Amino acid sequence: MAVNKINGLMTNAKDYVIIVLGLCLYAVGFTAFILPHGIVIGGLSGVGTLVYFATGGSIPVAVTQYACNLILLTMAYRLVGKTFVMRTIFGATVISLAIGVLESIFMGLGHPIIADISMSAILGAILCGLGVGIVFVHNGSSGGTDIVVAMVSKVSNVSIGRTMIFTDFLIVSCSIFLPFDGTLAERLNVKVPLIVYGLVVTFVLAYMTDMVINTNRQATQFVIFSRKWAEIADKINQEAHRGVTVMDATGWYSKQEVKVLMVWCRKIESVTIFRIVKAIDDNAFISQANVNGVYGKGFDTMRVKMKKNPADIPMGDKENKSLV
């Protein structure tokens, strides 16, 4: 019991360290490459950017971001649960501190590190996406639209990146209303390109986030043929801690009955499976295939909305639906 408790604490500590690194990576990408060019991105960082430029820089991005995070968490507490809220408060605090410190450094320079706005925006988006993806993989959250994403993921299988795009689109578009000295035509000439850059950053950030998360969640399916199938199955159970399904089959060339092992594991665990099989039977026949999703015990949880049974719908609702 004591060993398990220590292992659990070590795992949590490791998660929190990596979460902090991911949040710092996001803060660097945002403050060093995106904010200096006046680009408004999605999320509460984008909301903070809107307030920052609307007030002439008197209200830092970090202050607005942290205040909005607390409001969203209060609204989402019952749905996402205590654990998520605690981790999000931790993440929101770290990201706000990191952005607050780095914002004063990079904005204090008076000019962007990379003068080319296109290159700067893409590089910033990649760093931000990597940071958010790392945070999600380790069960953390940077707050902001991550809270909205977490609520949506509780009830559906909608892509995290797609949810971020839909939520952030409105925030980016609001940059058209930022203070500007000039005619409407001049405002459009200046603001529309920045909105486009903001949307590009949002798409690249979401894509990178999905890539990091999906790479971690990708599963592998093994089909193993071996005369030492029982020994291999036992080792996989004991060392890889994965279940094994044993099936009866017939080799049509040899006309002999054989046992077939089927194993599903995370992609990062596939090397372990190969090593186990090779150590026991170097002549084993193995087929490996990538699986986009494995749902069930030890893997991901299915989140789908079930259709209501027509018999369960009140008569009044049925009549209303027929008029739609």
Please report the pLDDT score of residue 317 as a whole number.
Answer: 47
Give the phi and the psi of residue 282 in degrees, each rounded to 5.
-70, -15
Task: List Cα–Cα distances, 203 to 44, 122, 126, 248, 276, in angstroms.
Answer: 16, 10, 10, 48, 41
Would you state the structure tokens that stand for residue 215, as one six-digit string?
Answer: 């790479």
pTM for the model stands at 0.68
Say which residues have a Cβ less than 8 Å from residue 14's Cβ, sequence separation at least 6.
none
Please report the pLDDT score of residue 320 as a whole number.
Answer: 41
Please report the pLDDT score of residue 247 as a whole number.
Answer: 93
Question: In a structure prediction context, what are the per-residue pLDDT tens digits for the chain, which is 324 residues long?
Answer: 565 566 556 667 787 888 899 999 999 999 999 999 999 998 889 999 999 999 988 999 999 999 988 888 887 777 666 766 777 788 889 999 999 999 989 998 888 899 999 999 999 999 999 998 888 877 777 777 667 666 666 666 666 656 666 778 888 988 888 888 888 888 888 889 999 999 999 889 888 888 887 766 668 889 999 999 999 999 999 988 888 999 999 888 888 889 999 998 877 688 889 889 989 998 999 998 887 666 666 666 655 545 555 555 555 444 443 333
Please report the pLDDT score of residue 187 as a whole number.
Answer: 85
Give the phi and the psi of residue 262 in degrees, each rounded to 5.
-120, 130
Please report the pLDDT score of residue 323 as a whole number.
Answer: 32
Q: HSE on the CB side for 73, CA within 13 Å?
A: 23
Please report the pLDDT score of residue 98 as a whole number.
Answer: 94
Distance CA 171, CA 42 (A): 6
Please report the pLDDT score of residue 322 as a whole number.
Answer: 33
Q: Where are the beta strands (DSSP E) in the chain?
A: 219-225, 244-251, 256-266, 285-291
